[in-house]
Amino acid sequence: MAAALACAAAMARPASHLLETPSHAVRLEVSEELRAVPGPEGDMLTAHLELPSGTPLASTDWIADASQVRVVIRPLAPGTRSRAEGLLDRALPTRSEQEPGRPWFVRRTLEGIGVYRLATQDAWTFEGSDGAVVAVHMPGTPIHRTHLASRRYGEHLEVVYHYGREHTDIRAMDAFVLTHLRAHVLSVARTRR
């Protein structure tokens, strides 16, 4: 019994990471169980979650594996918009030949999903269960094997996650990622550099 408690306590210990932007840093504590790996520049953490269990996996050479989600956590500088929020800031209500390179609104579905088109790729946007704007970039061609989603997580973080295009319920995937972020991100604090 004591060995089981010691093992559980060891698993609950946080791993502390300092993620940096040019003007600020974010101190992030995550559970060691998450197996998060810092990026080479110290500006992000990467983790992999098994589908559908959510079990954290050791770092892998991830290439669009349908059995896992790759999660990248990045700091946001004060006043910086997430990628998803930026997409909405740049979007036009209709296609415009005078504004090349800006996404344009295609339609809004009954489920509250906005669809934006940029070149050959669609971005689907919706409000996550925590109120954050989520954007999912849908593959434009069969050679693209993943969805790329982005969202704000709290005030100081952006989360970008990749998953196989076989998974079509974008709200369920966001809820899956959000559930595991809540379980593994223990604390977040911004500091000045």
pLDDT tens, 59-73?
A: 766 666 778 999 999
pLDDT in tens, 143-179: 678 899 999 999 999 999 999 888 989 999 999 999 9
Determine how β-strand 146-153 pairs with β-strand 133-138: antiparallel
pLDDT in tens, 70-84: 999 999 988 889 999
* pLDDT over threshold 90, residue 107: no
pLDDT in tens, 19-60: 988 888 899 999 999 999 998 887 899 999 999 999 998 876
Per-residue pLDDT at 131: 95
92 DSSP 8-state letter: B
Per-residue pLDDT at 145: 80
Residue ranges with strand state E in 37-156: 37-38, 45-50, 56-57, 68-75, 104-108, 114-118, 121-127, 133-138, 146-153
Cβ atoms of 75 and 24 within 8 Å: the answer is: yes
Cβ atoms of 126 and 113 within 8 Å: the answer is: yes
The Cα 86–Cα 73 span in angstroms is 17
